[in-house]
């Protein structure tokens, strides 16, 4: 049977409707990713503020916090691994609770870092970081260029950066610390674009609610880590110490 003009119109309309559904679904998915990420950042910031007020009120808190700094760092790493490797076996509600718990732990870990710098430089650096993050995330979301190759290079760079940071713990070189901060800013700026594109490509219209929510949480965790690392390296690069 020949396909008449009216049939072709139906097919074109059906294709356009499907594309529109996918576009709306993708927007909803990405909005959920950013909402979860923003909630995590807000919780970390609130936690850091509350703990900092305790440090100002009670001098003994400061010493206890410094001693426990690495404990919270290890707890945070453990929470990230727990989420990353256990996401397929846990419920979305459990994953969300784990992400929120990690945000609190990270807020406590961040407190002594933030107390080193003046409130003005912390606020200024936050707005600079937010602007850079939004610009690069928007680029990653809209670009047609495949960023996979760039991502592989950036991830290798992060491993090299970690090695350099460990070496500088013993060297205590100011010049090396400056270089590490500058390179860290470049790496996590690029990773923001790469990760945004990767998270976008994880979307599939056929995902059920549970799977879609898990993907949103993991995407939020990834972008949260990019933002926090970019912020810390920017703070080391631009911040004024007390």
pLDDT the model gives residue 68:
72
Give the mean pLDDT of the chain. Answer: 86
What does DSSP assign to residue 207? -
Q: What angle do CA 201, 203, 209 make, to 5 degrees?
A: 165
How far is it, in rounded angstroms, from Cα 97 to Cα 27? 24
pLDDT the model gives residue 7:
45
Q: Give 176: exposed, middle or buried? Use CB within 10 Å, 0-12, 13-18, 19+.
A: middle
Whether 223 and 137 have beta carbons less than 8 Å apart is answered as yes
pLDDT the model gives residue 209:
87
pTM for this predicted structure: 0.87
How far is it, in rounded angstroms, from Cα 140 to Cα 226? 13
Taking only the tens place, the pLDDT of each residue in 48-80 is 988 888 765 565 565 666 667 778 888 888 999
Whether 112 and 56 have beta carbons less than 8 Å apart is answered as no
pLDDT the model gives residue 9:
43
Low-confidence residues in the chain, pLDDT < 70: 1-22, 55-67
pLDDT the model gives residue 145:
93
Q: Give me the residue spans of the domains in the chain.
A: 18-238
């Amino acid at each position: 049977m020949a396909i008449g003009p009216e049939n072709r119109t139906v097919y074109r309309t059906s294709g356009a409707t499907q594309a529109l559904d996918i576009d709306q679904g993708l927007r909803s998915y990405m909005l959920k990713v950013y909402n979860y990420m923003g909630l995590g950042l807000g919780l970390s910031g609130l936690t850091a503020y509350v703990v900092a007020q305790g440090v100002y009120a009670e001098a003994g808190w400061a010493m206890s916090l410094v001693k426990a700094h690495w404990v919270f760092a290890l707890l945070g790493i453990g929470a990230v691994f727990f989420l990353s490797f256990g996401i397929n076996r846990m419920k979305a509600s459990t994953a969300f609770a784990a992400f929120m718990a990690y945000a609190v732990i990270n807020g406590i870990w961040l407190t002594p870092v933030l107390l080193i710098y003046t409130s003005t430089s912390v606020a200024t650096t936050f707005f600079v970081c937010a602007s850079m993050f939004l610009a690069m995330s928007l680029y990653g979301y809209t670009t047609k260029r495949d960023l996979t190759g760039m991502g592989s290079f950036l991830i290798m760079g992060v491993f090299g950066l970690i090695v350099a940071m460990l070496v500088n713990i013993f060297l205590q070189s100011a010049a090396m610390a400056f270089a590490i901060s500058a390179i860290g800013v470049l790496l996590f700026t690029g990773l923001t674009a790469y990760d945004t594109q990767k998270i976008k490509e994880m979307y599939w219209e056929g995902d059920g609610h549970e799977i879609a929510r898990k993907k949103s949480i993991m995407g939020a965790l990834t972008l949260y880590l990019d933002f926090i690392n970019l912020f810390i390296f920017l703070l080391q690069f631009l911040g004024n110490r007390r």
